Amino acid sequence: MTFRALRVDKTDQGHQARFVDLDDADLMAGDVTVRVTHSTVNYKDGLVMAGRPGIVQRFPMIAGVDFSGIVETSSDPRFHPGDEVLVNGFGLSQTHYGGYAGRARVPGDWLIKLPQGLTRAEAMAIGTAGYTAALCVLAINEQGARPGNGPALVTGAAGGVGSVAIALLAAAGWRVVASTGRQEEAEYLRGLGAAEIVDRAELSAPGRPLAKERWAAAVDSVGSHTLANVLAALMRGGVAAACGLAQGMDLPATVAPFILRGVRLIGVDSVLCPMDRRLAAWGLLARDLDRRKLAEMTVTLPFDRVMEAGADILSGKVRGRIVVEIS
């Protein structure tokens, strides 16, 4: 059986992504073979398809850090033909063939059975971005931050992580402040639950080591000066969950917020996150994420437009989430 895949090859001119036809013999090792029905487009997917160096670690590589689908064959006793499953991260599209293909073979240890109440398309509307947002919200909760302490800030608010974070925080009772450089998305963000919109320019330039206390918690997917300014404006005992580097991977901050206000910075890794944390995040999403809001933040595209979507997400043109229909 042949299937279509988006493969990244290394050439003399650099990395090239193109559609190819493959069969099961081309798949990598694993004990579960899945018919992939849906995937999504995250920022990392855009980097892979654009051939940015340092992301893909072996060639050739099938792109796509997420997929959902139906088990076709399995030697893992936890999974059986017909089971609906999903996977995020674990090196997909970096060291192991990813989800931009009609079929995938992966270790059973990477798979999650589709959470009750979610469809395969909804799982990919959430994708790594939404699952990462849930990990951030879990981290904030575990640090003891509560809506009564003050507002919660979400940076990169119109993106995938930001959109889901706003919806989850608002559902939990937080007054959400959304930071974005796209003021035309203000109504969209308010529809997700944001009570206030601030221009990202307030946070993206070099700032003071310690600023006026503004928020009790924050979800940051931007990094660099933005995260430094978020930390400087956290309330006493506040917590920030950091999960991205859209502005940069540097952190030009000082220790002042940490030693004078006792703030906490929690790093969130979604790629190699332990399974118990993954299950907790997906449980939170299945329970608390408003399906109407999820639908409002989601666009569905056919497989042949995935490279176009990858270019758009890198240039900041994508709002919310993208579902890719693979088969």
Are residues 263 and 137 located together in one domain of the fold? yes
Domain count, the chain: 2
Residue 287 lies in a domain: no
Q: How far apart are CA 30 and CA 232, in angstroms?
A: 46
Q: Give the three-state DSSP class for 49.
A: helix
Residue 121 lies in a domain: no
Candidates 316, 321, 322, 323; CA nearest to 156 is 316
Per-residue pLDDT tens over the stretch 51-101: 888 899 999 999 999 999 999 999 999 999 999 999 999 999 999 999 999
All residues at 6 or more sequence positions from 244 whose CB lies less than 8 Å from its CB, including other chains: 43, 132, 156, 161, 220, 221, 222, 223
All residues at 6 or more sequence positions from 14 whose CB lies less than 8 Å from its CB, including other chains: 51
Are residues 150 and 84 located together in one domain of the fold? no
Q: How far lies 229's CA from each of 106, 117, 200, 207, 236, in Å? A: 41, 39, 11, 6, 15
Q: Which of 267, 284, 308 is the last residue of a domain?
A: 267
Are residues 62 and 185 located together in one domain of the fold? no
Q: 186: how many CB neighbours lie within 10 A of its CB?
A: 16
**CATH code at position 23:** 3.90.180.10
Residue 12 lies in a domain: yes
Are residues 30 and 159 located together in one domain of the fold? no
Are residues 135 and 247 located together in one domain of the fold? yes
> What is the b/e burial string over 138-176, where b = at least 16 CB atoms within 10 angstroms of the residue's CB?
bbbeebebebebbbbbbbbbbbbbbbbbbbbbbbbebbb
Please give the single-letter amino acid code of residue 229: N
**CATH code at position 137:** 3.40.50.720
Residue 292 lies in a domain: no
Residue 286 lies in a domain: no
| pLDDT value for 327 | 82
Residue 33 lies in a domain: yes
Q: What mean pLDDT, rounded, does the chain reach?
A: 96
Are residues 260 and 301 located together in one domain of the fold? no
Q: Residue 258 has which token pair?
A: 């940490």
Are residues 83 and 192 located together in one domain of the fold? no
| pLDDT value for 122 | 98
Are residues 95 and 185 located together in one domain of the fold? no
Are residues 32 and 137 located together in one domain of the fold? no
Q: Residue 252 has which token pair?
A: 């030009």
Are residues 134 and 90 located together in one domain of the fold? no
Residue 71 lies in a domain: yes
Q: How far apart are CA 261 and CA 282, in angstroms?
A: 32
Are residues 107 and 137 located together in one domain of the fold? no
DSSP 223: B
| pLDDT value for 15 | 85
Residue 285 lies in a domain: no
Q: Give the domain range for residue 79.
A: 2-114+297-325
Are residues 66 and 134 located together in one domain of the fold? no
| pLDDT value for 1 | 80
**Cβ contact 229:198 at 8 Å:** no
Burial class (CB in 10 A: 0-12, 13-18, 19+), 104: buried
Q: Which of 251, 267, 283 is the last residue of a domain?
A: 267
Q: Residue 302 forms beta bridges with which residues? A: 325
DSSP output for 88-138: E-TTBTTTB--SSBSEEEE-GGG-EEPPTT--HHHHHHHHHHHHHHHHHHH
Residues of the chain with pLDDT under 70: none
